Amino acid sequence: MAYDAHNVVAVGMKDLDVLCAIKRVDEINCGLAVVDEGRIIANLPRPIAGLISTSKTETTADQFRRWKDALSRVGFPIKHPFMTLSFVFLSVIPELKITDQRLVDVGGSRIIPPSLEKIRS
């Protein structure tokens, strides 16, 4: 979930797994998914505006725990993955943010060019 733009956020090492996760999120009408070798190993539906689950609190909490555990199993090294992935795309908080307009230097109010040579100059 990307708070400002509400775009799909997909992170992965294999294109097929990323595509499978995006398709799963579409099937469950928004939410979270973890895929390993083309297999969905955890998901958490959030069909109300892509933010809220319609399940009981206990079910949602269990699905969230399974989602975090699945991320650990596939090698995602970040301790708080949901918060990290959500806020790295929140384009109003400095410093560098990923947006639908590219990488943005929020403090400098500029779009970062895609080439490292351009960044160094």
DSSP states of 1-37 as a string?
Answer: --TTT-------S-HHHHHHHHHHHHHTTSEEEEEET
Tell me, yes or no, whether 68 and 108 share the same domain.
no
Tell me, yes or no, whether 100 and 61 share the same domain.
no
Q: In angstroms, rounded to a whole number, what is the distance separating the alpha carbons of residues 59 and 1?
A: 20
Q: 84 lies in a domain? A: no
Q: 82 lies in a domain? A: no
Average pLDDT, the chain: 85
Calculate the dihedral angle through the C-alpha atoms of 100, 105, 108, 114, rounding to the nearest 10 degrees: -90
Q: How confident is the model at residue 83 (pLDDT cuts 50, 70, 90)?
A: confident
Nearest Cα neighbor of 41 from 26, 61, 58, 63 is: 63
By the 8 A CB rule, do 31 and 40 touch? no
CA dihedral sign of residues 111, 112, 113, 118 = positive
Higher-pLDDT residue of 117 and 42 is 42
Report pLDDT digits (tens) over 27-82: 999 999 999 999 999 999 999 988 899 999 999 999 999 999 999 999 988 888 87
Tell me, yes or no, whether 66 and 28 share the same domain.
yes
Tell me the residue range of the domain where 54 lies. Answer: 1-77
Report the domain count for the chain. 2
Higher-pLDDT residue of 61 and 109 is 61
Q: 86 lies in a domain? A: no
